[in-house]
Chain A
Amino acid sequence: MYKSWWKILGAVLVVYSTVFGFLSSVPALPILHQSIRNLYFHVPMWFSMIVLFSVSVYHSIKYLSNNNEEHDMKAVQSVNAGVLFGVLGIITGAIWAKFTWGQAWSFDVKQNFAAIALLLYFAYLVLRNAIDEEQKRAKIAAIYNIFAFPMMVVLLFVLPRLSDSLHPGNGGNPGFNAYDLDSHMRMVFYPACLGWILIGYWIYTLLFRVSSLEKNKTA
Chain B
Amino acid sequence: MQLIKEVKYLIGKEMLLEWRSKYALNGVVLYVVSTVFVCFLSFVSLKGVTWNALFWIIMLFASINAVSKSFLQESKGRQLYIYTIASPLALIISKTIYNIFLMLLLTLIALGFYTLVFDYVPEDMGLYLVATILGSLSFSTIFTMISAIASKAGNGGMLMAILSFPVIIPVITVLIKLSKNAIDGLDRSVSLDEIGILLIINVLVAVFTLMLFPYLWRD
Whether A126 is near chain B, meaning CB under 8 Å from some CB there, is: yes
**Once bound together, how far apart are the Cα atoms of A127 and B209, in whole Å?**
18
**Once bound together, how far apart are the Cα atoms of A123 and B162, in whole Å?**
6
Q: Are B149 and A140 in contact (CB under 8 A)?
A: yes
Q: Are A130 and B153 in contact (CB under 8 A)?
A: yes
Q: Are A140 and B153 in contact (CB under 8 A)?
A: yes
Given A131-B154, A139-B215, A143-B216, does the pair A116, B194 have CB atoms closer than 8 Å? no
**Once bound together, how far apart are the Cα atoms of A162 and B169, in whole Å?**
15
Given A130-B155, A136-B152, A159-B173, does the pair A143, B162 have CB atoms closer than 8 Å? no
Q: Output the least CB separation between B138 and chain A (Å).
A: 12
Q: Output the least CB separation between A5 and chain B (Å).
A: 37
Q: Are A154 and B212 in contact (CB under 8 A)?
A: no
**Once bound together, how far apart are the Cα atoms of A113 and B197, in whole Å?**
15
Within 121-162 of B, Cβ neighbours of A (below 8 Å) are at 145, 149, 152-155, 159, 162
Segment from A6-14, A26-34, A68-76, A145-153 that makes contact with B? A145-153
Within 152-170 of A, Cβ neighbours of B (below 8 Å) are at 154-155, 158-159, 162-163
Q: Output the least CB separation between A16 and chain B (Å).
A: 37
**Once bound together, how far apart are the Cα atoms of A144 and B215, in whole Å?**
11
Give the residues in chain A near B145, CB-CB below 8 Å: 147
Interface string of B191-204 (1 = CB under 8 A from A): 00110010011001
Whether A120 is near chain B, meaning CB under 8 Å from some CB there, is: yes
Q: Are B177 and A151 in contact (CB under 8 A)?
A: no
**Once bound together, how far apart are the Cα atoms of A119 and B165, in whole Å?**
9
Q: Are B204 and A154 in contact (CB under 8 A)?
A: yes
Q: Are B174 and A159 in contact (CB under 8 A)?
A: yes
Give the residues in chain B near A136, CB-CB below 8 Å: 152-153
Q: Are A143 and B215 in contact (CB under 8 A)?
A: yes
Given A143-B212, A144-B149, does the pair A151, B170 have CB atoms closer than 8 Å? yes
Query: Which residues does A use to contact B, with CB under 8 Å?
Result: 64, 113, 116-117, 119-120, 123, 126-127, 130-131, 136, 139-140, 142-144, 146-148, 150-151, 154-155, 158-159, 162-163
